[in-house]
Structure 1
């Protein structure tokens, strides 16, 4: 099985929800019920505080899940946006929860905060509680999606000249594929990486993958293909004049007319057969 791409969860959704986030939310609600912040300790019984905080934390947690699931559909190929997304969702949940708390406070404790100054003050409290309660779930989600660890870079070598850093994209390759990258091929929302020992799919756009290959000599030879310079074993010419690159692993990659000039300038055509 291919290693999940950065930004994609390693753990099934049900396991993340039931085994991680729900216990954290219930634990937070229990702690708040026991401590009774914002005057709830003096005004409410323990049972009332439990109902108060479990209800609010549960409602906020549900809103967090729904917003996150909706946004996830739009970020399948943008893993770099997940940190900002989760921060934005956390703050977005605070807005409707402020109105909910204001209505609850008026009906339960007779406190009228349904005016601009009261809502502004209440919003600060709600944001504070939301950030405290969501800190661990957000951290767990980022960790599960591989967004808390920077891509590994090679250790500095005390030699002259110094070795170039490994391209960032190579860190995305599953270990079973090695690091001898031959070509990239676009498949819908995925990129198929071809190496000397096999191939695998990675969820990202081809242009983003090419950008992460800075420092590795190669060319985009077609709107759907990129080829490493060291991968070219030969070049074939079709009867219509189009070029086809033959790679070391036997893979044949078409060269589009718009990229043919760059391929010729690279000197690869000199590898063409008679």
Structure 2
């Protein structure tokens, strides 16, 4: 559950929107400020709080990525409040320690609302990306880590082993070629030869070598095409 894998525009939009709303509502006695000064105060405060929440989120992603949503929101709101505490200390008109902590409490309540909104939006975005991402073939999960997210080009049979050809290299494993059709789903592919399975997206071009059709994969591998395979490819529209 990594919500900070890359820069998200919401990291800027959320403090801006929250700051604008608080500028209009003018809580905690800030109605006495002029509109520009009130906007500067609340937007600056929201950005400071946002950095505090992001720091906590970074720590959670690293040390406890499976933390429940409520705990993430609670800890981020604490981080946000702590981040703005120095700002509040130097700008607050409160003259007592009690008044200062009461102001921080109100800001913490506001931080919970803002953090809950931002966290929910981030989780919805990540869930949407996961739903839209193409399903990875089960075959790829059997490969070494550095090949699992590569593009599958084809599979060749070598005795009792198969060689998996991908955009990041190849790998041999003990497996039957007959099992590839199921394990490669949802990748579309065909059998141009009894010892080959080829992904449609892995074919770069078709050439003729000694008068016989040959498929060239995107990694440069030459794949022979048998007579039966040629009919299969022709029926599928791969050959004309």
- Superposition TM-score, scaled by structure 1 size: 0.46
1:95–1:79 Cα change, 3 Å: closer
Hey, what's the Cα distance between the residues in 2 that align with 1:99 and 1:22? Answer: 21
Q: 2:122 aligns with which of 126, 141, 156?
A: 141
**Which has the higher relative contact order, 1 or 2, with Cα contacts under 8 A spaced 6 or more apart?**
1
Structure 1 residue 175 corresponds to structure 2 residue 175: no
Deviations 1:33-68 (A, max 9, x none): 122111111x22212211211121121122223443
Structure 1 residue 47 corresponds to structure 2 residue 30: no
Deviations 1:188-227 (A, max 9, x none): xx8949xx9989xxxxxxxxxxxxxxxxxxxxxxxxxxxx
Structure 1 residue 118 corresponds to structure 2 residue 99: yes
Specify the SS of the correspondent of 1:13: coil
Give the RMSD, CA atoms, in angstroms. 4.2
Structure 1 residue 246 corresponds to structure 2 residue 206: no
1:38–1:148 Cα change, 3 Å: farther
Hey, what's the Cα distance between the residues in 1 that align with 2:112 and 2:100? Answer: 18
Structure 1 residue 81 corresponds to structure 2 residue 67: yes
Deviations 1:3-45 (A, max 9, x none): xxxx245x9733x23xx3322321221121122111111x222
Structure 1 residue 91 corresponds to structure 2 residue 61: no
Hey, what's the Cα distance between the residues in 2 that align with 1:27 and 1:139? Answer: 15
Structure 1 unaligned regions, length at least 5: 1-6, 152-172, 200-233, 236-244, 252-274
Hey, what's the Cα distance between the residues in 2 that align with 1:148 and 1:182? Answer: 20
Hey, what's the Cα distance between the residues in 2 that align with 1:138 and 1:51? Answer: 24
* Contact 1:36-1:49 at 8 Å conserved across structures: yes
1:21–1:68 Cα change, 3 Å: same
| Larger-Rg structure | 2
Structure 1 residue 36 corresponds to structure 2 residue 36: no
Hey, what's the Cα distance between the residues in 1 that align with 2:129 and 2:107? Answer: 27
* Alignment-derived partner of residue 164 in structure 1: none
Structure 1 residue 57 corresponds to structure 2 residue 17: no
* Contact 2:73-2:115 at 8 Å conserved across structures: no
Deviations 1:133-157 (A, max 9, x none): 22222112222333999x9xxxxxx
Specify the SS of the correspondent of 1:80: coil
Hey, what's the Cα distance between the residues in 2 that align with 1:53 and 1:23? Answer: 14
Deviations 1:108-146 (A, max 9, x none): x3x214x2x334322320111111222222112222333
* Contact 2:77-2:112 at 8 Å conserved across structures: yes
- Superposition TM-score, scaled by structure 2 size: 0.51
Structure 2 unaligned regions, length at least 5: 162-172, 180-240
Give the count of matched residue pairs: 163
Hey, what's the Cα distance between the residues in 2 that align with 1:140 and 1:102? Answer: 31
